[in-house]
Amino acid sequence: MSEIRRVIAHLDIDAFFASVELQRHPEAHGLPLVVAGAGPRAVVTTANYEARRYGIDSAMPAARARSLCPQAIFIAPDFAAYRAKSHEVWEIVRARFNTVGQVGIDEAYLDLTAIPKPLAPLRALVGELRERTGMTVSVGVGPSRLVAKTASASFKPAAFVAMSREQAVSHFASHPVQLLQGIGPKTAGRLAELDLRSVGDLQRADVTLLGGRFGERLAKALHARAHFYDDSPVEVVRVAKSRSSELTFPTDVSDTGRLEEALVQLARELADGLRVRARRARTVAVKVRLDDWTTVTRARTLERFTDESETIATTALALLRAYAPPRPVRLLGVRVAAFEDELARERDEAPGYQLALPI
């Protein structure tokens, strides 16, 4: 694989939501703090490092977190506050560096290739962020996104680590393969069947043998990742025009109750995705594909921007009921469009201005 010479940094705000809450609740400093909703199905949105010591982690049911550490301070998430803080942080970063590709509410890649000695300004940025926003950022620097991200993720919090590809190859060899971005539990499971468990195992694996199991293309890609080859560029992401969540039923569904239940679930997933990405939208649409492949879309524009699953679900349900599918349903979808940021951008009309918000 040819190597493109790049210098890339990955910036990740440490325990982001918890850090914002700590600023607003200074009495909680040094104590375990968990941000989680209150409902029966609520999950942990984030936990500070004191709470993580008790085994609490993101996406864990809130009830389980409470039993692991009953003395922790539990706070309901305030996404508007996180959005505002995120905006503050990345505006400062964009004011200092040109190529900023935001990939989440609290993380972004920077392409520093054009900067002669990038570590000094990068360190200055970390200090400036701490001073002006109160946020601590972990930084990984390397010749690729893969090295940069792996470094920041492995050494956080308050990491500032630069690594060459070769250093990453030897340093992470003993780590489980799932350390590598793009290798999830499913692929890790299939690799384990070949007795390949660590990054080092995968580095030493025979590509032909891997090809027999994964196909030649994926085998080569996995092997390359284990050797920390990655030539993906930092993309200053454009705003997505819409987001959707769809479900194709295993067998066509006529039962109204089942359809509505599925629709509410889709609306929930969609709203979760919006909140994670700090987006709010005004238009809600449902898509219904019948068993004869007739596809119908119905949309409604709301009075206000929303990321609430209740609002999205209620609107989607009203649209579905108004349509009343005349035949069994094959596919159901919920979509939101007309995002807040997008409209703000249209108002700004600054030439060449690009919003680098996550899609």
Sites of contact with Mg ion (CB under 5 A): 12-13, 16, 106
136 vs 315, which CB is nearer to Mg ion?
Answer: 136
- Residues facing residue 13 across a β-bridge: 137
- Residues facing residue 243 across a β-bridge: 336
The rounded distance, in Å, linking the Cα atoms of 66 and 200 is 38
86 vs 144, which CB is nearer to Mg ion?
Answer: 86
The rounded distance, in Å, linking the Cα atoms of 189 and 191 is 5
What are the two backbone dihedrals, phi and then psi, of residue 181, each rounded to the nearest 5 degrees?
Answer: -60, 135
Report, in Å, the least distance between residue 338 CB and Mg ion.
Answer: 29
The rounded distance, in Å, linking the Cα atoms of 170 and 147 is 12
Report, in Å, the least distance between residue 9 CB and Mg ion.
Answer: 15
Q: Is the peptide bond before 157 cis (omega within 30 degrees of 0)?
A: yes
The rounded distance, in Å, linking the Cα atoms of 175 and 188 is 12
Report, in Å, the least distance between residue 262 CB and Mg ion.
Answer: 32
Which residue reads 């999830």 in tokens? 184
16 vs 228, which CB is nearer to Mg ion?
Answer: 16
61 vs 157, which CB is nearer to Mg ion?
Answer: 157
Report, in Å, the least distance between residue 13 CB and Mg ion.
Answer: 5
DSSP reduced 3-state for 193: helix
The rounded distance, in Å, linking the Cα atoms of 131 and 72 is 27
Report, in Å, the least distance between residue 276 CB and Mg ion.
Answer: 12
Is 216 one of the catalytic residues? Answer: no
What are the two backbone dihedrals, phi and then psi, of residue 302, each rounded to the nearest 5 degrees?
Answer: -85, 165
14 vs 201, which CB is nearer to Mg ion?
Answer: 14
CA atoms within 13 A on the CB side of 131: 7
Active-site residue, from 50, 107, 340, 342? 107
Report, in Å, the least distance between residue 197 CB and Mg ion.
Answer: 27
DSSP run (H or E) holding 164: none
What 200-207 contacts at long range (C-beta under 8 Å, 24+ apart), as own/partner pairs, is: 200/173, 200/174, 200/226, 201/177, 202/177, 202/226, 203/169, 203/173, 203/227
- Where does residue 352 fall: left (phi above 0), alpha (psi -120 to 50 degrees), or beta otherwise? left
11 vs 183, which CB is nearer to Mg ion?
Answer: 11
What are the two backbone dihedrals, phi and then psi, of residue 306, each rounded to the nearest 5 degrees?
Answer: -145, 155
Q: Which residues are catalytic?
A: 107
